[in-house]
Homo-oligomer: A and B are copies of this chain.
Amino acid sequence: MSPKITTELLKQLRQVMKNPRYVQEPVQAYIVPSGDAHQSEYIAPCDCRRAFISGFEGSAGTAIVTEQHAAMWTDGRYFLQAAHQMDSNWTLMKMGLKDTPTQEDWLVSVLPEGSKVGVDPFIIPADQWKRMSKALRSAGHDLVPVKENLINTIWTDCPQRPCKPLITLDLSYTGVSWRDKIVALRSKMAERKVMWFVVTALDEVAWLFNLRGSDVEYNPVFFAYAIIGMNTIRLFIDGDRMMDPAVREHLQLDSTLEPEFKIQVMPYGSILSELQAVGAGLSPKEKVWLSDKASYALTEAIPKAYRYLTPYTPICIAKAVKNAAETEGMRRAHIKDAVALCELFNWLEKEVPKGTVTEIVAADKAEEFRSQQKDFVELSFATISSTGPNGAIIHYKPVPETNRTLSVNEIYLLDSGAQYKDGTTDVTRTMHFGTPSAYEKECFTYVLKGHIAVSAAIFPNGTKGHLLDSFARSALWDCGLDYLHGTGHGVGSFLNVHEGPCGISYKTFADEPLEAGMIVSDEPGYYEDGSFGIRIENVVLVIPAETKYNFKNRGSLTFEPLTLVPIQTKMIDVNLLTEKECNWVNEYHQKCREVVGAELERQGRHEALRWLLRETEPLARVQ
């Protein structure tokens, strides 16, 4: 990996920073954030502006270029990668280290008095704008919106914004029609006394209209906005996608509809002017609902007194609670996914000893088996296929330079998942194809105990996921061990593999309470730098729990694993498990046998079935 040479690019950028064609007044600094205009976690190539200007391709990072300096802020996951990919024009700002200045402090320290700092108002979220603007103002500088993105002015071979065909999802997948979703949304709007709701997140647009796309890799979304009024629906979307008869029929574009369900289709780029028109036409007390993470540009389109901002939108919260059709779809998807993994692990067991299977080969084979399953669309994220020391790199993705061969002497960690038309999967299994050491088994067993502690937890209705995080760590903590990531994230239904507003992590406090129908991952781990990585991840569904008593009639919840892939018993030190934990493993494996076994049988995959039966033999606990 050699660094990108950015001398010429930076020179060009510094020129446009002073060019009156693009900026009203010269800006002394320009901020290039990671995101797109929808604050997406995964972005399209045309939105990889920060990677273009710096060479650094990690998923998180902010570049700031001044007349003299170019600096990149990123977190611990990416220190090495950023250092490799950037040339000497760039200073790496290691976030989380004590001596690293914040972006604001750094700007204040390097800028001449009374400077202007530019940023694309469509890319920066309103809450970040507010913080940055306040800090700069108090030091005598100004944060200014630069309408035309300055990177785009110098990015001559910038790829086109994707505009791929849409998939329509019928009721058997979604459970609720888009009309009924609009009705429910309007009732939430009425409750809060708002007249308009602006849909800015891509997965929220997709969910609301029961449409999917493929504009962004791994996330079945498409570039669009929507503005929902009490009597109007405006969908902002480009291309000839609305010419597709299936889409026209799905959205009833050519039907005679009650006016409040008539969708007005408008160009993607007209969102700002349309929203400004909405803003200009508001009567007193008419509020407009936006996410507080919506872009500064869209937020500013509505006069401050008329804005109603919340951290989670009503769509985000409704989307998180899966209905029966979605839950059933997720179950089906996870059974198919388990079939593919049984095939894979059976294959690996035979092939690894030959010494011909690399991390990339294994990842490709996993994709091949998944793609044989019905309704497979694509992977849900870049497969983490890692063996030995690579397993300790939590966000590892094998590339030719690091590609390691699987062997019978090393632990193999596979974190992978797929998009099926009926659901999204995300599963991690840690396997040994030879004989694990006592220490490896010990660590694996602590991780397993943490996994079970969350999966089997019973907790009252109204509990937030972050209150469960310590359960996953307790067995590790007892021995002085830990892992430096959260325990779980929300999972979409044929949508983004990471979604809010729920999760299981010590890091957040603002998560919404767990409720029946929500789906999260349960994925504790343990990582020994330079040696191995262990993670055990299931996707689990929040379900009501039966309890002996019922305090204040609150009701209780627990989790049902949707993922049904054997947990390698060879890695378990049974003597470290309690009887309850041992029973949990045996019951889980019994369910894998019954449910996945039946599907393997149905698909005629007899060898993988034999593998499954062997891997799910009950544990015998020494009394």
Measured CB to CB, the residues of A under 8 A from B are 138, 305, 457-460, 467-471, 474, 476-482, 506, 509, 547-552, 554, 556
Known interface pairs A470-B468, A474-B471, A506-B467; A480-B305 also in contact (CB < 8 Å): no
B469 and A457 form a contact (CB under 8 A): no
| A467, B487: Cα distance in complex, Å | 13
Q: Which residues of B contact A305 (CB under 8 A)?
A: 138
A548 and B471 form a contact (CB under 8 A): no
What are 16 A-B pairs at a CB distance below 8 A?
Answer: A138-B305, A457-B477, A458-B477, A458-B478, A459-B470, A459-B477, A460-B482, A467-B469, A468-B470, A470-B471, A471-B474, A480-B547, A480-B551, A481-B551, A482-B552, A509-B509
Q: Given B138, B478, B556, which contacts A480 in the complex, CB threshold below 8 Å?
A: B556
Q: A549 to nearest B CB, angstroms?
A: 4
Q: Which residues of B contact A458 (CB under 8 A)?
A: 477-478, 480
Q: A548 to nearest B CB, angstroms?
A: 5
Q: A65 to nearest B CB, angstroms?
A: 28
Closest 5 CB pairs of A and B: A480-B547, A509-B509, A480-B549, A479-B548, A467-B470
Other than the given A479-B548, A480-B551, 13 more pairs (CB < 8 A) read A459-B470, A460-B477, A460-B482, A467-B470, A467-B506, A468-B470, A470-B471, A476-B551, A479-B547, A479-B549, A480-B556, A482-B552, A482-B554
| A551, B549: Cα distance in complex, Å | 40
| A552, B509: Cα distance in complex, Å | 25
Q: A90 to nearest B CB, angstroms?
A: 28
| A272, B506: Cα distance in complex, Å | 42
Copies of this subunit: 2
B556 and A477 form a contact (CB under 8 A): yes
Q: A308 to nearest B CB, angstroms?
A: 13
Residue of B nearest to A484 (CB): B552
Q: Which residues of B contact A556 (CB under 8 A)?
A: 477, 480
| A549, B469: Cα distance in complex, Å | 21
| A480, B458: Cα distance in complex, Å | 8
B554 and A478 form a contact (CB under 8 A): no
Q: Which residues of B contact A552 (CB under 8 A)?
A: 482
Residue of B nearest to A528 (CB): B551
Q: A84 to nearest B CB, angstroms?
A: 24
Q: Which residues of B contact A470 (CB under 8 A)?
A: 459, 467-468, 470-471
Residue of B nearest to A578 (CB): B578
Q: A164 to nearest B CB, angstroms?
A: 41
A549 and B471 form a contact (CB under 8 A): no
B480 and A550 form a contact (CB under 8 A): yes
Q: Given B457, B467, B474, which contacts A457 in the complex, CB threshold below 8 Å?
A: B474
Q: A478 to nearest B CB, angstroms?
A: 5
Q: Given B138, B469, B480, B509, which contacts A548 in the complex, CB threshold below 8 Å?
A: B480
Residue of B nearest to A554 (CB): B482
Q: Which residues of B contact A548 (CB under 8 A)?
A: 479-480
| A479, B547: Cα distance in complex, Å | 5
| A549, B547: Cα distance in complex, Å | 37
Q: A427 to nearest B CB, angstroms?
A: 25
Q: A136 to nearest B CB, angstroms?
A: 14
Q: Which residues of B contact A138 (CB under 8 A)?
A: 305
| A395, B194: Cα distance in complex, Å | 41
Residue of B nearest to A462 (CB): B482
| A83, B104: Cα distance in complex, Å | 51
Residue of B nearest to A456 (CB): B478
Q: Which residues of B contact A509 (CB under 8 A)?
A: 509
Q: A21 to nearest B CB, angstroms?
A: 37
B467 and A549 form a contact (CB under 8 A): no
| A31, B81: Cα distance in complex, Å | 57
B474 and A547 form a contact (CB under 8 A): no
Q: A512 to nearest B CB, angstroms?
A: 15
Q: A192 to nearest B CB, angstroms?
A: 13
| A551, B480: Cα distance in complex, Å | 6
| A468, B460: Cα distance in complex, Å | 17
Q: A527 to nearest B CB, angstroms?
A: 9
Q: Which residues of B contact A554 (CB under 8 A)?
A: 482
| A480, B509: Cα distance in complex, Å | 24
Q: A522 to nearest B CB, angstroms?
A: 15
Q: Which residues of B contact A547 (CB under 8 A)?
A: 478-480
| A509, B506: Cα distance in complex, Å | 10
Q: Which residues of B contact A480 (CB under 8 A)?
A: 458, 460, 547-551, 556
Residue of B nearest to A478 (CB): B458
| A478, B557: Cα distance in complex, Å | 10
Q: Which residues of B contact A469 (CB under 8 A)?
A: 467
Q: Given B471, B478, B549, which contacts A481 in the complex, CB threshold below 8 Å?
A: B549
Q: Which of A468, A477, A509 has the most CB of B within 10 A?
A: A477
Q: Which of A478, A509, A548 has the most CB of B within 10 A?
A: A478
| A477, B457: Cα distance in complex, Å | 8
Residue of B nearest to A556 (CB): B480
Q: A563 to nearest B CB, angstroms?
A: 24
Q: Which residues of B contact A457 (CB under 8 A)?
A: 474, 477
Q: A481 to nearest B CB, angstroms?
A: 5
| A509, B464: Cα distance in complex, Å | 13
| A478, B547: Cα distance in complex, Å | 7
Q: A445 to nearest B CB, angstroms?
A: 13
| A506, B511: Cα distance in complex, Å | 13
| A138, B547: Cα distance in complex, Å | 48
| A451, B509: Cα distance in complex, Å | 24
Q: Which residues of B contact A460 (CB under 8 A)?
A: 477, 480, 482
